[in-house]
Amino acid sequence: MKKTIKEIKKRTVNPPCGLCGKSKKPRYKTECCGNWVCGDESEYVMFSYSRDICSRNHRRFTLCGHHNVEEHEDDWRTCKKCREDFEHELEMYVWYGMNEYNFEKLPNPPAFKPTYCSKCGERIILPDGGYSSLCGVYRCDNCPITEKERGEIILEYKSKSQDK
Ligand SMILES: [Zn+2]
Ligand SMILES: [Zn+2]
Ligand SMILES: [Zn+2]
Ligand SMILES: [Zn+2]
């Protein structure tokens, strides 16, 4: 077989963003996994909840990023500490490991119990937000916790934790 010799031109341009695929914004290598992502966290406007900054999304909303920020050891995919950090909201753990801000997804995500509004029973999708929670009681946005209920929930929580 004849070998074809291709001329490889050296490019000094960074690869496109591994998350959105764009090359418009400046790209940086992530600290956690060495992938190229676009966007500078300093562009983030406080409380804008913007998800346009890929570098921020990866650092803040993935297990890979969380694992690195929290300075855990070993691999995030098998990290017990990461799992413990999300034990009370396993749905978030799965989302952090599986969402579109990941380069590699969590192998064998655990099954989690869905969360329901304690008043109307509506399913609450934790990663989507639009709910409030107090002492493990979840409410959808249509059923905000009233002042009276707030007191009751806290009282019940306290009596439960005393039983233990
Ligand atoms: Zn990007
Ligand atoms: Zn990473
Ligand atoms: Zn970890
Ligand atoms: Zn509700």
Ligand nearest to the Cα of 76, by number: 3
pLDDT value of residue 98: 98
37 and 69 assigned to the same domain? yes
Q: Which domain covers residue 39, as residue numbers?
A: 27-98
Measure 32 CA to ligand 3 centroid, in angstroms.
Answer: 11
Q: What is the pLDDT of residues 62-101, one digit of tens each?
A: 999 999 999 999 999 999 999 999 999 999 999 999 999 9
94 and 122 assigned to the same domain? no
Q: Cα separation of 156 and 147, whole Å?
A: 15
Measure 36 CA to ligand 1 centroid, in angstroms.
Answer: 8
Label residue 15 exposed, middle or buried (CB < 10 Å: 0-12, 13-18, 19+): exposed
pLDDT value of residue 163: 66
Measure 123 CA to ligand 4 centroid, in angstroms.
Answer: 8
Own/partner pairs, 131-139, CB within 8 angstroms, 24+ separation: 136/88
Give the count of domains, the chain. Answer: 2
88 and 42 assigned to the same domain? yes
For residue 80, which amino acid is it?
Answer: K
Buried b (16+ CB within 10 A) or exposed e, 61-71: bbbbbbbbeee
Measure 49 CA to ligand 1 centroid, in angstroms.
Answer: 16
Both tokens assigned to 98: 């599986």
Ligand nearest to the Cα of 102, by number: 2
pTM of the model: 0.84
**37 and 61 in contact (C-beta within 8 Å)?**
no
pLDDT value of residue 2: 60
